[in-house]
Structure 1
Amino acid sequence: MPQKRAMPNQTHTFNLPLSLCTLTTCAIAFAAITSQAAQAHEEIKDVILTDRSTNCADYADTYSAEVTDVQNARNFRASLAITVTGDSCEITSNAVPNHDFNATGRFARPVAEQNQSYSVPANPTFNSAPVALSLRYDNAVFLNGVKLDLLAAGCFGVGDGRIGCNDVSSPYRYDPMGPGAGFGADEHNAHTQPDGTYHYHGNPMALFDQSNPTSPSPVIGFAADGFPIFGSYIADGSTIRLATTSYRLKSGTRSGGPGGSYDGTFVDDWEFVAGSGDLDQCNGMVQDGVYGYVVTENYPHVIGCFMGTPDPSFLKRRR
């Protein structure tokens, strides 16, 4: 997915009078149109991104990939379009990733194609104070068209612990990336929602070089407030290293609920300790003069809160 500027839509016209359109000539014309349409889609199967442009318009294009649900031996065609409308970028996809998936997952529902579209502000602005994550919003969309949904709807002591915990202030909310969560995520830290929507809960284990890169990680997506999301590696002088979160596990044991030691099973097991890592409370930092969120190995994984205002297009649909 090379850096691209927004281009106007192009329509290919074949001036072939209907009176001259025989079965053969019409078939040739149709084949030519189909061929040009297919060529308009950039193939991004397993692409490793390199661009660090924080302007969503630079990624405007149409993309596709042939991928497989490994355990179920089902083939899918991922479809993604990024277009520019005024001061926003529209990111529309069928929610199928650009990589094979579900080699190790335990999905409650099989993956189903969706029709999802997000509007990303091209010039995001800071709020006067950070905005907490909400169960009402999807958190971000990656540059393969798959969304990020960090918060689980499951809390200890509420229903079966997996769904139904819709009050964001409820204690002991499971972290889907935690050691005892058991949400059936696959090798890409993703699983499905009740309607079959494939979505990530953390590092997608794709899209950027994760094995000793020689340069800082690229932009791999955009948050609901428009700020970019970078991969995990940052420049520290002449050294390229993993960024570190400023959240730390609490010491001691839980005083109520499930009891036991703070081990990261629950969101409440973590606390923000300013200055203890590279990133702020929203899991972001300024790189090359631009603020953005960073994928990390530990909680909050990608985004801890929003520095801007989430766009209404990220409001979750009722299921």
Structure 2
Amino acid sequence: MKNIISIFLISSLIFSHSFLDNFNIFNNRTDGDINNDGVVNVQDIIILVNFILTNGSNDNADINNDGLINVIDVIQVVNIILYGPIADDCNEENFSTDGILTNIDEQIYNNDESINSYSIYSWSQDDQDRILSGNGIPNHEVGTFPNANCPNSITEQNINHSFSLYPEIVSEQGESVGGPGGVIAYALNSVKFDPGTAGRCNDNGVCSLAQGNGNWSIEALGHETFDFGDDMNHAHVQPNGAYHYHGMPDLLIDFLNDDESILLIGWASDGFPIYAEYGYSDACDNQSEIIELQPSWRLKDSPDLGRPEILTELTGGPGSGSGLNIPIPMGAFTQDFEYIEGSGDLDECNGRIGVTPEFPDGIYHYMVTNQFPYFSRCLKGDFNGTGGGTGGGGTGGGNPPDCENVPQGMPCCGDGICGGPENNSNCPEDCQ
């Protein structure tokens, strides 16, 4: 009885509304067009009411797709008539991040035994840019460093980086960035994301975890054949002392989490935001279910031609030796994966356009995921005009080792480009 009264009141409201004369303006609409005549008008409401009163059924009548035909569907048809069709798109251009998380200034002492130092980071802005200043020290628990597979200690870095407040997509496929080529992103605590590694293997299975030769790029996560000494945050330390994330920074998420399942945890160098793990099932509907978003990268059905199947020798760094005869499973190399458009929720750069709590009209954003690629290996926005993080990227900084002390096969002077050992004679550009 209550439903009948509600329907009557809603219908009365429609007939008395000044928009009644314009009922026929919404042509070629799918939502709300119960009788498929190309028009959403009062006839559709009458048909919908009859379905409700007679327990009838019609695929077009369940407007909100909840499996029921009831007064809620009537309300939605009324809204379509009065205010226009249900929006199914979100903003795809003219993005702005102005005023979002630009008033942060933190100094937090981290008494973890591998740190015992302050985590210092600040985010501010001017008219055009978001500005990060920090020391790259994490504000959460970390693993033990140095350790058997990562012989480097965490040291302060000199992070100064700027990001556009008005990012725009300039590449549909994205441009590769990260490692020696530049910093791909920073978390809010000024720790950088750097998902790739310098590890390589040749076709004969001769591999190095740092500055190896060969076409096969070793992944840090997702297998047990190669151990980079990463911790519970899927992070480890570069020779210059830079702690950095390869994947999901779990304890940073715990630190930041304020009961929001969709959590902004950092900014990419092109100015677009970074979120962790979760998003709306309908990218442009903030009323849809919150789910764990899935990448669109998949493990190949078979290995590429020439891919080594056996680790025969590991050169340079911890665990080196020959005659190893260790199987290399699929997933150990970056080349073991392929992008299949539409197979997941995200694009080739592990991002998508969608609404978030901070951006209700939608924005392009990158995701950290629990599956490969874990974090983006490419950026879709313009990052060439942004400032560099002098301690967080491939340009070194912080406290790099003396050139004479760089082990064979390890990155030189912290810049990740040359092999060691180095000195002022054989690598003057890296040993100032």
Task: Find 1:222's aligned residue among 259, 262, 267.
Answer: 267
| 8 A contact 2:182–2:395 mirrored in 1 | no
Q: How does 1:1-319 map to 2 (within 5 A)?
A: 54-55=97-98, 57-70=100-113, 72=114, 74-103=115-144, 106=147, 107-129=150-172, 130-135=174-179, 136-157=181-202, 161-165=208-212, 171-179=215-223, 180-208=225-253, 215-236=260-281, 238-259=288-309, 263-288=330-355, 289-310=362-383, 311-314=386-389, 316-318=394-396, 319=414
Q: Which amino acid aligns with 1:313?
A: G
CA RMSD of aligned residues (A): 2.7
Q: Relative to 1, partners in 2 of residues 1:69 and 1:248: Cα closer, same or farther, differing over 3 Å?
A: same
Deviation at 1:254, TM superposition (A): 4.5
Higher helix share: 2
TM norm structure 2 = 0.55
Q: Relative to 1, partners in 2 of residues 1:103 and 1:165: Cα closer, same or farther, differing over 3 Å?
A: closer
| 8 A contact 2:152–2:238 mirrored in 1 | yes
| 8 A contact 1:66–1:98 mirrored in 2 | yes
Counterpart-to-counterpart distance in 1, 2:216 and 2:131: 36
Identity across the alignment (%)? 30
Deviation at 1:99, TM superposition (A): 0.3
Deviation at 1:150, TM superposition (A): 1.5
Q: Relative to 1, partners in 2 of residues 1:213 and 1:57: Cα closer, same or farther, differing over 3 Å?
A: closer
Counterpart-to-counterpart distance in 2, 1:217 and 1:206: 16
Deviation at 1:309, TM superposition (A): 2.1
| 8 A contact 2:128–2:164 mirrored in 1 | yes
Whichever of the two has the greater Rg, that structure is: 2
Counterpart-to-counterpart distance in 1, 2:328 and 2:157: 40
Total equivalences in the alignment? 261
| 8 A contact 2:160–2:387 mirrored in 1 | no
| 8 A contact 1:214–1:240 mirrored in 2 | no
Identify unmatched segments of 5+ residues in structure 1. 1-52
Deviation at 1:208, TM superposition (A): 3.0
Counterpart-to-counterpart distance in 1, 2:154 and 2:164: 29
TM norm structure 1 = 0.74
Deviation at 1:316, TM superposition (A): 2.6
| Alignment match, 1:21 | none
Q: Relative to 1, partners in 2 of residues 1:109 and 1:241: Cα closer, same or farther, differing over 3 Å?
A: same
Q: Relative to 1, partners in 2 of residues 1:171 and 1:302: Cα closer, same or farther, differing over 3 Å?
A: same
Q: Is the partner of 1:58 in helix, strand or coil?
A: coil
| 8 A contact 1:142–1:221 mirrored in 2 | yes
Q: Is the partner of 2:208 in helix, strand or coil?
A: coil
Provide, for residues 208-265 of structure 1, a one-character-per-residue CA deviation record: whole Å limited to 9, x for no partner. 369x997541211001111110111112254221100000000124432422676211
Provide, for residues 2-30 of structure 1, a one-character-per-residue CA deviation record: whole Å limited to 9, x for no partner. xxxxxxxxxxxxxxxxxxxxxxxxxxxxx
Q: Which amino acid aligns with 2:199?
A: G
Deviation at 1:57, TM superposition (A): 4.7
| Alignment match, 1:32 | none
Counterpart-to-counterpart distance in 2, 1:194 and 1:110: 8
Deviation at 1:139, TM superposition (A): 1.1
Q: Is the partner of 1:182 in helix, strand or coil?
A: coil
Q: Which amino acid aligns with 2:331?
A: G
Counterpart-to-counterpart distance in 2, 1:239 and 1:219: 18
Counterpart-to-counterpart distance in 2, 1:119 and 1:159: 40
